[in-house]
Amino acid sequence: MGKKVVVTGVPGVGKTTVITGAMDRLAGEGIVYEPINFGTFMFELARKEGMVADRDEMRRLDRDVQKRLQRAAASGIAAISGDANVIIDTHSSVKTPVGYLPGLPEWVLRELMPDVIVLVETDEDQILQRRLGDESRTRDMEGARSIAEHQQFNRAIAAAYAMYTGCTVKIVRNENFLLDRAVEDMVDVLR
């Protein structure tokens, strides 16, 4: 049975960067993970239905529509993951105009049943800086205090996910100039 690792963190904290670094390092050891981006699964469905033109519009869709896309993405991912080692790039919670939407509600967890949930975190001023520097995306421009609240909420809800699945919760710090350390911590989780 493969290992299922779910990687979460607020937008722009560097989830994808850390995952890519860790997978590159592990490939040298012959350890292979299939990377799956949960948002991409949702986006492909939403785009086919003509609801969005870019992935950053999804968190502003009607709450019930987001939940429907989320459910469909979870079962699609469960169907393709099989016995392989998989790493799922997603969110503990999504900040929507009507509040935090759980990224891994019961119907998603039942499909994914992760062994580990990783929370990628860093100081909120660094996250703000990274969002400001990323012109490829339509980032939410919120203040440092609001990002701190989101990170706090993500820890709380990850504890609830662990209660439901018995998975472990690992916090990986991805600080400026210390990407190598974050990659090393992620490699330890995946090995």
Distances (CA, A) of 115 to 69, 88, 90, 118: 23, 11, 15, 10
Q: Minimal CB distance to ligand AP5: which residue?
A: 39
Q: Which one of 31-39, 45-53, 75-83, 162-170 is the stretch in contact with ligand AP5 (CB under 6 A)? A: 31-39
CB atoms within 10 A of CB 19: 23
> Which region, judged by CB under 6 A, interacts with ligand AP5, from 5-13, 28-36, 79-87, 162-170?
5-13
Q: Residue 47 corresponds to which amino acid?
A: R
Q: Which stretch binds ligand AP5 (CB under 6 A): 76-84, 88-96, 165-173, 183-191?
A: 88-96
Least distance to ligand AP5, CB of residue 84, Å: 20
Structure-token pair, residue 179: 């990407």
Residue 17 binds ligand AP5 (CB under 6 A): yes
Q: What are phi and psi of 91, to 5 degrees?
A: -135, 135
Binding of ligand AP5 by 138 (CB under 6 A) = no
With CA atoms as reference, report the closest residue to 25 among 170, 168, 185, 172.
Answer: 185
13 part of the interface to ligand AP5, by CB under 6 A: yes
User: Taking a C-beta distance cutoff of 8 angstroms, is the pair 34, 84 a contact?
Assistant: yes
Residues 36-55 that bind ligand AP5 (CB under 6 A): 37-39, 42, 55
Please give the size of the binding site for ligand AP5, defined by CB under 6 A: 28
Nearer CB in complex with ligand AP5: 103/114: 103
Q: Kindly list the strands in the beta sheet with 86-89, ordered across the sheet, starting from the edge strand earlier in the chain.
A: 34-37, 86-89, 4-8, 116-121, 168-173
Task: Summarize as ranges the residues that interact with ligand AP5 (CB under 6 A).
Answer: 9, 11-17, 37-39, 42, 55, 58-59, 66, 70, 89-91, 94, 103, 130, 134, 137, 174, 176, 179
